[in-house]
Amino acid sequence: MSYRLTPAGGLVRGSPGARVGLMASPSSGTVPWPHTPLPVVAAPMAGGPSTPELAAAVSNAGGLGLLAAGYRTGSDMAEQVRATRELTGGPFGVNVFVPAVERDEGRLFAQRTAIEAYVDLLQATATRLGVELPQPNWEDTDGWDEKIEALVTDPVAVVSFTFGRPPHRVVDRLHRVGTCVAVTVTCTQEADAAEAVGADALVVQGVEAGGHRGTHDVLMTPNVLSHPELLRNLRGRRAALVAAGGIVGPSDVRRARKLGAVAAQAGTAYLLTPEAGTSPVHRQALTERALEASVTRAFSGRPARGLRNRFVEEFDAYAPAVYPAVDQLTKPLRARAAQLGDVGGVSLWAGAGWRTIEAAPAAQVTAHLAGPRG
Amino acid sequence: MSYRLTPAGGLVRGSPGARVGLMASPSSGTVPWPHTPLPVVAAPMAGGPSTPELAAAVSNAGGLGLLAAGYRTGSDMAEQVRATRELTGGPFGVNVFVPAVERDEGRLFAQRTAIEAYVDLLQATATRLGVELPQPNWEDTDGWDEKIEALVTDPVAVVSFTFGRPPHRVVDRLHRVGTCVAVTVTCTQEADAAEAVGADALVVQGVEAGGHRGTHDVLMTPNVLSHPELLRNLRGRRAALVAAGGIVGPSDVRRARKLGAVAAQAGTAYLLTPEAGTSPVHRQALTERALEASVTRAFSGRPARGLRNRFVEEFDAYAPAVYPAVDQLTKPLRARAAQLGDVGGVSLWAGAGWRTIEAAPAAQVTAHLAGPRG
């Protein structure tokens, strides 16, 4: 059994179609993208903004809320799932980071050397802020095993993955508990890889996206195609397409649907909602509108889009493509800067269209994005 | 004397306005962007596509043709200027790369080390193709001094710069011979820097742009804002704004003008014209439309947008941000691949909208871009 996308964007059961060659080892069936009254998804925003309150509010408003498991322990994530379930009876999902622990000795040596050089650069800032830079944890999987176990034990409607594709066996296990598996992709090659492990949906992330780019290989130059360009290139795939990147108004959602997406995923649009856990300093920068957006590896080692502040100016040119080691290093610096209310020292993720967002309840943002019904 | 942009996009003489603080050391006057019947500029496309025939055809059609001095000697460039002048009586310009010879011993050591590692990676391809990888020339300025002398001796209407800003004294010398000085910028900071040296115009290059991004600092992560976003951020500047990136149709030109640009610069749109020097293998890839675009440092060390072929797949993740050393290294590989007609082994620059371009004379493309008159 499989599902494919109709030209109108609906999901119909059907044959796997032209790309069947990639499904040489089919999963235990597929699980369709959940039907929701509105084609709007609350993007997972790890590091604070995504909360059970935000996810539940979006699901209650007729969209699909997503929790962000990234940077959390498995039990933290499980607790957030329970909290969300108490706030909504609607479907919701969880986003999980795919870890990539480096086993190649040559690449690991290069990474350690690059990290040492970056530590030297960051040291002055650490000293000024009175914080200690941690030793990188090279075995960090962001709690992968615990999270997968928890999501199989207490299933949610959708599990989306970022920074890579899950192994085929993980997709199978999620399918068996009725979970729709989505993979964030930024180009055709990643879409091929995601379909090959049995992904039911592709979150098609364009260059407009705020926060981290989902690029699978940390070393690759991040893709610069917009989500409409990518949707055109990916049209007709077996997997359902969810548009992501710069979705801030109803015309964005409408265009994505016309290009074949079942739904559009908005993150930035929710950053100023009261339900979001966006930090005061982040809210301030988004409201002041004094900075310009850029992509940088400075904060985490992975390319991510946010407002270009002092930290980006100082470190962008020197940040190595080593994740999550760079994230571990800068975490105490960012935490201290946030405490001090220093807009220049924290990450200020923002997608295209961020200048147009307003502070409003998540239900209102969801209704606005969906546009007039009918 | 200075010029500023009217809301309708026209140039009027006026006070330097709000950004006067940046002009603490004013140039010897300013030179306005040349008036042409059509607000269309043929982008400089170094490495082959730009020719005297293309520049002259665009100028004769009512636009502004630009020659690409990049990768040429000063005398080659001067010869192209003379050849263009024989083909058109209209205004035209020349684009020059701003060199950045590294003098910091620490950074130079890091660059040499990174280049050695890249040489190791490229060696197998070089062996297969039967070519020898050259020793990098660390003092390469791309003929900067000769080019500036030639452009002062035999002036053109516009000299635009890419990869940085020229020194103030060079801007002065060009102003004295009546040349309008334009600087390619990709963000607000670069625009500030360009205005500070007295640039008359800013070529505002968005993420849609094919070929090299004009990012001033080779180490910086390339900007991801579209040219409309950048135009909004730069509106009201003293310098005239020229939109660049993904200009392939009349609606792109119209939008840019509405956002305050005096003209829009199109490159990709001219790649298939008979006047362009686009290589057969490049034309083939653009016509087949089988590949997807991406940005990579693999070919030159600087980020550039083109079709993602085998070379990009193999080398993108490992290419160091060292320019022009990487360009020097890959040049014989690309030349040999082009001889062999190997689409996988050459750079295939292409901006957004490249799938829509057609083979037509440059005059026809220019008229199409300008749209219906009036």
Residue A28 confidence (pLDDT): 61
Q: Which chain A residues are within 8 Å of B293, Cβ to Cβ?
A: 224-225
The burial class, CB within 10 Å (0-12 / 13-18 / 19+), for B89 is exposed
Q: What is the mean pLDDT of chain B?
A: 92
CA A371 vs CA A78, A205, A263, A367, B240: distances in Å: 33, 21, 13, 6, 38
Q: What is the mean pLDDT of residues A82-102?
A: 96
Q: What is the mean pLDDT of residues A9-28?
A: 35
A175/B contact by beta carbon, under 8 A: no
Residue B3 confidence (pLDDT): 31
**How many whole angstroms separate alpha carbon B93 and alpha carbon B357?**
24
Edge-first strand order for the sheet with B201-205 is B40-42, B263-266, B240-244, B201-205, B180-185, B158-162, B92-97, B65-68
Residue B101 confidence (pLDDT): 86
**How many whole angstroms separate alpha carbon A313 and alpha carbon A291?**
12
Residue A106 confidence (pLDDT): 87
Residue A238 pLDDT more than 80? yes
Residue of A nearest to B188 (CA): A292
* B35-93: pLDDT as tens digits: 999 999 999 999 999 999 999 999 999 999 999 999 999 999 999 999 999 999 999 99
Taking 3-state DSSP, the helix, strand and coil percentages for chain A, each rounded to the nearest 5, stand at 40, 15, 45
Q: Check residue A32 and report its DSSP letter.
A: P
Do A276 and A360 touch, CB atoms closer than 8 A? no
**How many whole angstroms separate alpha carbon A283 and alpha carbon A276?**
10
**Secondary structure class of B211 (helix, strand, coil):** strand
pLDDT band at B137 (very low <50, low <70, confident <90, very high): very high
Question: What is the percent of chain B with per-residue pLDDT over 90, rounded to a whole number?
Answer: 89
Find residue B158's DSSP bridge partners: B93, B180
Residue A21 confidence (pLDDT): 33
Residue of A nearest to B106 (CA): A117
pLDDT band at B367 (very low <50, low <70, confident <90, very high): very high
CA angle B317–B319–B320, rounded 5-degree value:
125
Do B103 and B178 touch, CB atoms closer than 8 A? no
pLDDT band at A103 (very low <50, low <70, confident <90, very high): confident
Q: Which chain A residues are within 8 Å of B187, Cβ to Cβ?
A: 292, 294, 308
Residue B14 confidence (pLDDT): 30
- Amino acid (1-letter code) at residue B143: G
Residue A2 confidence (pLDDT): 34
Q: What is the mean pLDDT of residues A27-32?
A: 79
Residue A15 or B134, more confident: B134
Pairing state between β A65-68 and A180-185: unpaired
Name residues 260-289 of chain A within 8 A of B (Cβ). none
Do B101 and B141 touch, CB atoms closer than 8 A? yes
What is the ipTM metric for this complex? 0.85
A303/B contact by beta carbon, under 8 A: yes
Residue A110 or A51, more confident: A51
pTM of the model: 0.89
- Amino acid (1-letter code) at residue B193: A
Q: Which chain B residues are within 8 Å of A318, Cβ to Cβ?
A: 219
Q: Do B224 and A305 touch (CB under 8 A)?
A: yes
* A176-205: pLDDT as tens digits: 999 999 999 999 999 999 999 999 999 999
Q: Which chain A residues are within 8 Å of B226, Cβ to Cβ?
A: 352
* B244-281: pLDDT as tens digits: 999 999 999 999 999 999 999 999 999 999 999 999 99
**Secondary structure class of A158 (helix, strand, coil):** strand
For residue B136, cis peptide bond before it (omega within 30 degrees of 0): no
Q: What is the mean pLDDT of residues A150-166?
A: 98
Q: Check residue B349 and report its DSSP letter.
A: B
Do B30 and B61 touch, CB atoms closer than 8 A? no
pLDDT band at B29 (very low <50, low <70, confident <90, very high): confident
Residue B24 or B144, more confident: B144
Could you tell me how many CB contacts below 8 A there are between chain A and chain B? Answer: 69
Residue B28 confidence (pLDDT): 60
Q: Which chain B residues are within 8 Å of A219, Cβ to Cβ?
A: 316-318
**How many whole angstroms separate alpha carbon B225 and alpha carbon A293?**
7
Number of H helices and number of E strands within chain B? 12, 13
Closest CA to A180 of A86, A74, A53, A41: A41
